[in-house]
């Protein structure tokens, strides 16, 4: 099977973050403190809600445009780049791919020891009344529409409004996952720094997979929209304070954590 050549546009600010990440770890011998305050599960959930709100605004504008013009429009058609269900599938695919590829291709040699420690069953202590790992993480942005913007949603069809409310309470993973007797997967421990590295590898990964041109185009579009989201909030997602001296990172791994 011939590999496809795939181009994925990474915003310049994120390229800079990748360079800083490489420098801090390989030259300065620093590590990302784990588990991250905002883990990958939280980031992906935040993005879906962000995406859904933007899609709802777009749908509302289409609805208003249809009312003020005589143009024949299919109001039920949702372009792929505005499709919330496709967005959900994309973030779930990111989660699965990240969990599988992190130890294989996403870690620098200097990070391997830390990975073995934080994925050890000894690092996490099961607790009886368990809450999800991601529920305690803080979201870097407020995704609930403000009161000032509430009038914009009044023009939405009731069905779309219900769909939006459903998405805003949506969770990527079940409340009872991971099981209390298992250490959580990497997406519950790592954050944006390591997730961004995955996008450097994605063209090679996707080039070996079977996609129709139509599906591949839609997937790349969703990846690039997600990267724009990371770029827009780069100060929240990529603080330099996330990196600590190796001795501090290793000290934190000596203290077992409850599985939250």
Distances (CA, A) of 242 to 64, 193, 248: 44, 9, 12
Q: Above 70 in pLDDT, residue 255?
A: no
pLDDT (0 to 100) of residue 135: 43
| 97, two tokens | 């791919």
The whole-number average pLDDT for the span 135-159 is 45
Per the CB < 8 A criterion, the answer to whether 40 and 98 are in contact is yes
pLDDT (0 to 100) of residue 249: 84
CATH fourth-level superfamily of 12-255: MRG domain (1.10.274.30)
pLDDT bracket for residue 260 (50, 70, 90): very low
pLDDT (0 to 100) of residue 169: 84
Distances (CA, A) of 183 to 97, 117, 204, 246: 18, 11, 30, 22
Lowest mean pLDDT among 3-7, 48-52, 122-126: 122-126
pLDDT (0 to 100) of residue 37: 92
Mean pLDDT across the chain? 80
Other C-beta atoms lying within 10 Å of the C-beta of residue 247: 10
pLDDT tens-place string over residues 169-207: 899 998 888 877 788 999 999 999 999 999 999 999 988
Q: Which of 235, 226, 170, 178 is nearest to 198 (CA)?
A: 226
Given CA atoms 91, 94, 95, 96 in this order, what sign does their dihedral have? positive
pLDDT (0 to 100) of residue 148: 42
pLDDT tens-place string over residues 17-37: 999 999 999 999 999 999 999
- The greatest distance separating any two alpha carbons of the chain, rounded to the nearest whole angstrom, comes to 67
Question: Where do the domains of the chain lie?
Answer: 12-255
pTM comes to 0.79
Q: How many contiguous H segments (helices) and E segments (strands) does the chain have?
A: 10, 4
pLDDT (0 to 100) of residue 56: 82
């Amino acid at each position: 099977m011939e590999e496809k050549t795939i181009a994925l546009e990474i915003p310049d600010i994120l390229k800079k973050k990748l360079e800083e990440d490489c420098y801090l770890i390989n030259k300065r011998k620093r590590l990302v403190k784990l588990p991250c305050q905002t883990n990958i599960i939280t980031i992906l959930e935040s993005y879906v809600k962000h995406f859904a709100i933007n899609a709802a605004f777009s749908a509302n504008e289409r609805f208003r445009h249809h009312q003020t013009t005589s143009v024949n429009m299919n109001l039920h058609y949702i372009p792929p780049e505005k499709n919330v269900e496709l967005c959900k599938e994309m973030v779930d695919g990111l989660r699965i791919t990240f969990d599988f590829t992190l130890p294989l291709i996403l870690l620098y040699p200097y990070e391997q020891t830390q990975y073995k420690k934080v994925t050890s069953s000894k690092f996490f202590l099961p607790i009886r009344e368990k809450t999800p790992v991601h529920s305690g993480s803080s979201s870097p942005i407020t995704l609930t529409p403000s009161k000032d913007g509430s009038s914009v949603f009044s023009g939405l069809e009731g069905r779309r409004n219900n769909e939006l409310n459903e998405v805003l309470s949506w969770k990527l993973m079940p409340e009872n996952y991971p099981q209390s007797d298992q250490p959580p997967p990497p997406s519950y421990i790592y954050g944006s720094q390591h997730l961004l590295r995955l996008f450097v590898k994605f063209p090679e990964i996707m080039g070996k997979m079977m996609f129709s041109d139509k599906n591949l185009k839609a997937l790349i579009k969703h990846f690039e929209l997600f990267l724009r989201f990371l770029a827009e909030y780069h100060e929240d997602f990529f603080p330099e304070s996330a990196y600590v001296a190796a001795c501090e990172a290793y000290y934190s791994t000596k203290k077992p954590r409850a599985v939250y």
